[in-house]
Structure 1
Amino acid sequence: MDKLSVMNAFRRIVERGSFARAAEDLGVSPALLSREVKLLEESLGSVLLTRTTRSMSLTDAGRVYYEETMGILDAVNAVENRIREGAGAVRGHLRVNVSSSFGQMVIVPFLPEFLETYPDLRLTLSMDDRVVDMVEGGFDLSIRIRSAMPDSALVARKVGTIRQRIFAAPSYAARHGMPQSPEEIAHHRIIGFLLADHLTHWTLTGPDGVAELEIDPPVRVGNSLALRDLLLAGQGIGTLPDFVSNGPEARGELVRVLPDHELPAPEIFAVTASRLGMDAKVSAFIDHLRAALGG
């Protein structure tokens, strides 16, 4: 027995003063309502309505049940109305998880405008290079950079693409020269990104096709910004995503190694626990992220 449905039916019967009129309002038969009330009375062990062929009245137990039912149903309706009204509003608490380098270089710069636009929103931004369980962590949204998202119960939406290229500082090139072909990379000091899919294997696509390289970086770091800083200090060559490399390259602080070669381009995914997770605050955040990425 659906208690809320039966409560609603009982309330309608009392307020309309008739099984027939209540049944008409609810789109069911009077016989069905009569059976539901009988089952309700049996479950409670009390008679709620006294009925004759001409009249119907509440018993003392029925009056108590009716009054309590009104409070319960009004409270349920109030909650549902608040949820419906808030579904399209950017308010509440938004919890976002993102890698530290992407968070610092891409997310944080657009946060002032985002927070000014939605002053009623609370935001928790967790920047963690580990892949976290977003459901266990209570996150509404996780931004993940992957070549592909594995099949799972999570819902992933592609919001952008990243270019991965090889860089070195001019000071490194002056001391050690620059590789002129993929095969020459093995003769150089490589700084690897510890969490990358390509830590020990580079697939380079260039004008002569695809080159597969086995790499054993003597220096490995778990953060793209730390890798960038080591490259800037002339400590070796390494791969960087464009959101990290664009600034130093534009200023001449880093130069491309094998500029006509690139690694596979990973995708940027906005991940929610379910399609219901795509509410107004999540949508607004993803819209600002797309704009920051030039999408």
Structure 2
Amino acid sequence: MDKLSTMQAYCRIVDRGSFARAAEDLGVSAALLSREIRLLEDSLGTTLITRTTRRMSLTEAGRVYYHEALGILDAVHRVEDHIRDGAGAIRGHLKVNASNSFGTLVIAPVLPAFTAAFPDLRVTLSLDDRVVDMVEGGFDVSIRIRSAMRDSTLIARKIGTVHQGVFAAPSYVAHAGLPTRPDDIPHHKVIGFLLSDHLTSWDMVGPDGPVNLSVDPAVRVGSSIVLRDLLVAGAGVGTLPSFVSDGPVARGELVRLLPDYRFAPRDICAVTAARLGMDARVMAFLDHLQAALKG
């Protein structure tokens, strides 16, 4: 029995809360994992995991083994990362989570160059606009756009900044008129993003100070990309993050409204579980992504 591999498998089972999900992550069968854990328990002379048909739970010995194993595996990873250098260190499987719009418009275009630079690395990019449980999902890093990080069990590295603006198509402005003050917005057809923190309340800062504007979107959608397309089609006015609006504005498909009023900028954060830190795979990916954001 390979003790390190078994430790890694055991920790993944605990993290995922399931033999089946851990087996999928590791690319082995659940039966093989179950057999490995039984051998581990036999060698230790104690039960680590109690299992029923519906759930699993750790014994006290299982909890102790889990925390001690994490320390051993972290130490091994640090030694290996220190010894390796260059692209040779970047191998294995990197699992990334991001929102649909950021993943589609920002990450996907830079993936070909990244995978070409690190051919020994497999990458899984999962897109979801809702905040996911990183450990439950088995992700190495999640890219989130937030004004603040509230989960103390996670660590975040800022890799960029997003600015939010109000936009409409020239065709919409031509027939509905140009709003020049925030008070004009409620008289227009507003399109909102369902998961936005400002769906019905816009907090902006203008020439005369802070402004809070209540809005009632006539259309509400669950995708920033769909929202962008509706605005380009002349369906109304709405807010977009800069990475979504920059292209249509450059092509003349959208115009910025209320340019003297600004939303608070938000950070693009790379988030990992605190106990995992950011390993060589994650750091290589973030360096590549951050360079693309600056470019």
TM-score by length of 2: 0.71
User: What are structure 1's unaligned runs of at least 5 residues?
Assistant: 1-76
Q: Partner residue of 2:260? A: 260
Name the counterpart of 2:219.
219
1:119 aligns with 2:114: no
Q: Does 1:163 align with 2:158?
A: no
Output the CA distance in 1 between the equivalents of 2:285 and 2:293.
12
Describe how 1:266-285 pairs up with structure 2 within 5 A.
266-274=266-274, 276-285=276-285
CA RMSD of aligned residues (A): 1.9
Cα shift readout 1:199-245 (whole Å, capped 9, x = no counterpart): 01001212221111011101011111000000001000000000010
2:95 matched to which residue of 1?
A: 95
Offset at 1:159? 1.1
- Equivalents in 1 of 2:208, 2:218: separation in Å? 28
Task: Provide Cα deviations, 1:152-186, integer angstroms capped at 9, x if missing partner.
Answer: 21111111110100000000001100111111111
Which range moved further: 82-91 or 172-181? 82-91
State whether structure 2 residue 84 is matched by structure 1 residue 84: no
Q: Give the aligned residue type for 2:94.
A: L
User: CA 1:82–1:183 in 2, change beyond 3 Å: closer, same or farther?
Assistant: closer
SS at match of 1:202: strand
SS of match in other structure, 2:294 = coil
User: 1:269 corresponds to which letter in structure 2?
Assistant: C
Can you give the 5+ residue segments of structure 2 that lack an aligned partner in the other structure? 1-71
Letter in 1 for 2:259: P
Q: Contact (CA 8 Å) 1:105, 1:243: kept in 2 or not?
A: yes
Larger radius of gyration: 1
Q: Tell me, what secondary structure is at the counterpart of 1:277?
A: coil
Q: State the shift of 1:151 in Å.
A: 3.6
Using the alignment, how far apart are the partners of 1:290 and 1:169 within structure 2?
30
**For the residues of structure 2 that align with 1:220 and 1:288, how far apart are their CA atoms?**
34
The residue aligned with 1:132 is 132
- 1:249-270 deviation digits (Å, cap 9, x = unpaired): 0111100111111211111110
- Deviation, 1:81, is 6.8
* Residue matched to 1:248: 248
| Helix, strand or coil at the partner of 1:290 | helix
Give CA deviations for 1:40-81 in whole Å, capped at 9, x if unaligned.
xxxxxxxxxxxxxxxxxxxxxxxxxxxxxxxxxxxxx9xx87
Report the residue type matching 2:186 in the other structure: A
Amino acid at match of 1:103: G
Give the Cα–Cα distance (whole angstroms) in 2 for the partners of residues 82 and 171 of structure 1.
57
How big is the shift at 1:99?
A: 0.3
Task: Tell me which amino acid in the other structure corresponds to 1:95.
Answer: K
Distance 1:228 1:81, change over 3 A: closer
1:110 corresponds to which residue? 110
CA 82–151 in structure 1, closer or farther in 2 if over 3 Å, else same:
closer
- The code of the aligned residue for 1:175 comes to H
Change in CA separation of 1:199 and 1:85 when aligned onto 2, cut-off 3 Å: same
- 1:275 is displaced (CA, Å) by 5.3
Partner of 2:9: none
User: Shift of the alpha carbon at 1:277?
Assistant: 3.0
Q: What does the per-residue CA deviation read over 1:73-116, in whole Å, with 9 as the maximum and x for residues that have no partner? A: xxxx9xx8787335641111000000010001110111111000
Q: Is the Cα–Cα contact under 8 Å of residues 140 and 277 in structure 1 kept in the other structure?
A: no
How many residue pairs end up in the alignment? 218
> Could you tell me which residue of structure 2 aligns to residue 183 of structure 1?
183
Aligned CA distance change for structure 1 residues 82 and 195 (closer, same or farther; 3 Å):
closer
User: Given the superposition, is the C-alpha separation of residues 112 and 212 from structure 1 closer, same or farther in structure 2, using an over 3 Å criterion?
Assistant: same
User: CA-to-partner distance for each residue in 1:11-64, whole Å, 9 max, x for gaps?
Assistant: xxxxxxxxxxxxxxxxxxxxxxxxxxxxxxxxxxxxxxxxxxxxxxxxxxxxxx
Give secondary structure in 1 for the equivalent of 2:262: coil
Identity of aligned residues (%): 64
TM-score normalised by structure 1 residue count: 0.71
